[in-house]
Amino acid sequence: MLSHATTVHIDLGERSYGIAIGAALLDDSASYAALPHASAALIVTNTTVAPLYAKRLRVALAGRYAQIHEVHLPDGEEHKTWQTLNLIFDALLTHGCDRKTVLYALGGGVIGDMTGFAAACYMRGVPFVQVPTTLLAQVDSSVGGKTAINHPLGKNMIGAFYQPRLVVCDLATLDTLPARELAAGLAEVIKYGPIADMALFAWLEQNMDALLARDRAALAHAVKRSCEIKAAVVGADEREAGLRAILNFGHTFGHAIEAGMGYGVWLHGEGVAAGMVMAAELSRRLGLVDAAFVERLTRLIERAGLPTRSPVLDAADNAGRYLELMRVDKKAEAGEIRFVLIDGPGQAVMRAAPDALVREVIDQCCAAA
């Protein structure tokens, strides 16, 4: 382990790896020392992150690879598509990259998900490293091996489970993150409380101001605890046979918001935030939690600067539109939507719910157009 980093291990047999968390890790060549030898690397990043961090990563990797290539993708959720994915394959083939070439995902969750999918596919699988530079990617998307692109009909519908060899979370990169993106990342941190760890939830209530002020120690704790929870869940259920689905608390409603509004209009974390309020309210209506819990969760989301009211997606039949979009969710079975609900604070459960009840929740939680 690097002396200035904390490492969280994710135990997946031969696919095990470490998540290094600390400051100034990105440009420290020691961060990458344990990776197997290869002659070439491809840094996959976007037009926003490249000017900030690509050169620093390239310098850190200079001693490891004879050739280091870069591809700069267009920035944004709306570019998480086949067409953009193909730019990675174009770069790999144009540079004559072999099957030992290591892909480095330098950026947020969009870059991480697309780079991982490209790594899973290129020559039927090449190694890849996650270097997440958003809070959301550091606490969630860079860990656990879910990789994907969007389809116009559904979020993250085309993808693969494919684990990185290493995750390097450099907390200093969060200094340049826009405030709206920092808040979006906090949604995924808050998520871990109701599903697994109410002590983390209470800590967030105490430390939300410090997190918003980017206090390094507070961020380090939030990233470490989030990665520990995610590593435990993924270690127990890598391919989401059951337990792993709890990590999707708020996502069934949230993905409908993202797709329904048009990818990139609401940030992923914003959709998850409003979606968690809806899922908590559905849990309450099913008798699983009380109103005080829903109120407590709503207040914390609000304090993070995140939306607690969901958008109207269709003026004529809003609930119908939500239901239509949610039936495309990956957790749906035979057209029946399965929700991650809270079965008492700190405990998640997967359940279907009557459409009529879901409609009531949507009507209650959506802001007027």
What are the residue numbers of the active site?
124, 146, 188, 230, 240, 244, 248, 251, 255, 268
* 54 vs 233, beta carbon nearer ligand GLY: 233
Alpha carbon 100 to its chain centroid, in Å, reads 27
Number of residues in the chain = 369
Alpha carbon 318 to its chain centroid, in Å, reads 27
- For residue 89, with 0-12 CB atoms within 10 Å meaning exposed, 13-18 middle and 19 or more buried, which class applies? middle
* Assigned token pair, 221: 């704790």
Quick one: which H or E segment has residue 41?
strand 40-46
Indicate whether 185 belongs to the interface with ligand GLY (CB under 6 A).
no
* Assigned token pair, 198: 């109410």
Residue 270's binding partner among ligand GLY, ligand NAD, none (Cβ under 5 to 8 angstroms by kind) is none
Helical pair 198-212 and 216-236, crossing angle rounded to 10 deg: 140
Indicate whether 268 belongs to the interface with ligand GLY (CB under 6 A).
no
Indicate whether 67 belongs to the interface with ligand NAD (CB under 6 A).
no
Contact 168, 31 (CB under 8 A): yes
Q: How many CB atoms are located within 10 Å of the residue 257 CB?
A: 28
Indicate whether 191 belongs to the interface with ligand NAD (CB under 6 A).
no
Residue 281's binding partner among ligand GLY, ligand NAD, none (Cβ under 5 to 8 angstroms by kind) is none
Residue 134's binding partner among ligand GLY, ligand NAD, none (Cβ under 5 to 8 angstroms by kind) is ligand NAD
Least distance to ligand GLY from the beta carbon of 16, Å? 17
* 140 vs 197, beta carbon nearer ligand GLY: 140
Least distance to ligand NAD from the beta carbon of 341, Å? 19
Part in contact with ligand NAD (CB under 6 A); list of ranges 46-54, 123-131, 304-312, 351-359? 46-54
**Which of helix, strand or coil describes residue 202?**
helix
In the chain the first and final C-alpha atoms are separated, in Å, by 52
Q: Tell me, what amino acid is at 145?
A: G
Q: In this chain, which of 84, 133, 248, 310 binds ligand GLY, going by CB under 6 A?
A: 248
Indicate whether 106 belongs to the interface with ligand NAD (CB under 6 A).
no
Indicate whether 150 belongs to the interface with ligand GLY (CB under 6 A).
no
Dihedral sign from CA coordinates of 87, 89, 92, 94: negative
* 269 vs 307, beta carbon nearer ligand NAD: 269
Q: In this chain, which of 69, 268, 284, 296 binds ligand NAD, going by CB under 6 A?
A: 268
CA dist list (Å): 18 to 10, 14, 249, 276? 6, 12, 25, 29
Indicate whether 254 belongs to the interface with ligand GLY (CB under 6 A).
no
Q: Segment 132-161, which members bind ligand NAD (CB under 6 A)?
A: 133-134, 136-137, 140-141, 144, 146, 156
- Alpha helices in the chain, H assignment, sequence order: 55-61, 82-94, 109-121, 135-136, 179-196, 198-212, 216-236, 251-261, 268-285, 291-303, 318-326, 355-365
Task: Note the residues at the interface with ligand NAD (CB under 6 A).
Answer: 46, 48-49, 52, 75, 77, 80, 107-111, 113, 133-134, 136-137, 140-141, 144, 146, 156, 173, 176-177, 181, 184, 268-269
Task: Note the residues at the interface with ligand GLY (CB under 6 A).
Answer: 140, 144, 146, 244, 247-248
